[in-house]
């Protein structure tokens, strides 16, 4: 209930402030678990982009955000969970796998952090690790435009990436990195579509 109220309010505000165009909504699975992967350019990405995806998203968020008094309470109430950046966070991976096992939608930024320049950073292997272990599709999303008053913001949702050939395999870190890079390349292609 709280999620839906916040989602509705942010949608109204975002539609007033930005000129938002969404393409490919039909590519988001209507049921079952999946991972939605965005490029990360702004702190506004989670609330603005998340509210236009038709299903409730569960975000991984850096643990520092949970320590900010009001913000921490809100993001926790919206279903986000913390991740320690800079090292493999086993508990965050277990949380992610548990969320997907429940049939929910996990939102991730393959870069692991925001790109202040707007250029894509290299993907981290985590998205491939979680997707192949959970046996779920990855939906790439390319976001372009500026978070400026009345500027166009394009949210371009690509076809789900199914990694079935890697299920039940013990994958090396190099292979996981390669798969994550492929996902990042598809996000880049979506960003280049006008």
Give pLDDT tens digits along the chain (194 positions). Answer: 788 888 889 999 998 899 999 999 999 999 999 999 999 888 888 888 888 998 999 988 888 888 888 888 888 877 788 888 766 678 889 999 999 999 999 999 888 777 666 677 788 899 999 999 999 999 999 999 988 999 999 999 999 999 999 999 999 999 999 999 999 999 999 998 87
Among 39, 102, 107, residue whose Cα is nearest residue 78: 107
**What's the half-sphere exposure (Cβ side, CA atoms, 13 Å) at 52?**
26
Its pTM stands at: 0.90
Asked whether 41 and 148 are in contact (CB, 8 A), the reply is no
Q: Give me the number of domains the chain comprises.
A: 1
Give all strands of the β-sheet with 57-62 in edge-to-edge order.
19-23, 152-157, 138-145, 34-38, 105-108, 57-62, 81-83
Supply the range of the domain harboring residue 82: 2-191
Alpha-carbon Rg of the chain, whole angstroms? 16
Residue with tokens 């493999």: 88
């Amino acid at each position: 209930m709280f999620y839906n109220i916040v989602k509705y309010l942010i949608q109204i505000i975002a539609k007033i402030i930005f000129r938002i165009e969404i393409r490919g909504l039909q590519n988001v699975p209507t049921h079952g678990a999946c991972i939605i992967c965005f490029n990360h350019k702004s702190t506004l990405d989670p609330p603005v982009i998340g509210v236009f995806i038709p299903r409730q998203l569960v975000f991984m968020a850096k643990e520092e955000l949970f320590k900010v008094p009001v913000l921490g309470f809100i993001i926790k109430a919206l279903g986000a969970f913390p991740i320690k950046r800079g090292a493999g966070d086993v508990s965050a991976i277990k949380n992610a796998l548990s969320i997907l096992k429940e049939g929910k939608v996990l939102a991730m930024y393959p870069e692991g952090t925001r790109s202040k320049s707007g250029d894509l950073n290299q993907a981290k292997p985590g998205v491939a690790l979680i997707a192949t272990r959970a046996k779920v599709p990855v939906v790439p999303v390319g976001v372009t435009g500026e978070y400026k008053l009345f500027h166009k913001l394009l949210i371009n949702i690509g076809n789900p990436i199914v990694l079935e050939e890697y299920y039940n395999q013990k994958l090396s870190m190099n292979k996981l990195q390669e798969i994550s890079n492929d996902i990042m390349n598809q996000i880049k292609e979506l960003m280049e579509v006008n």
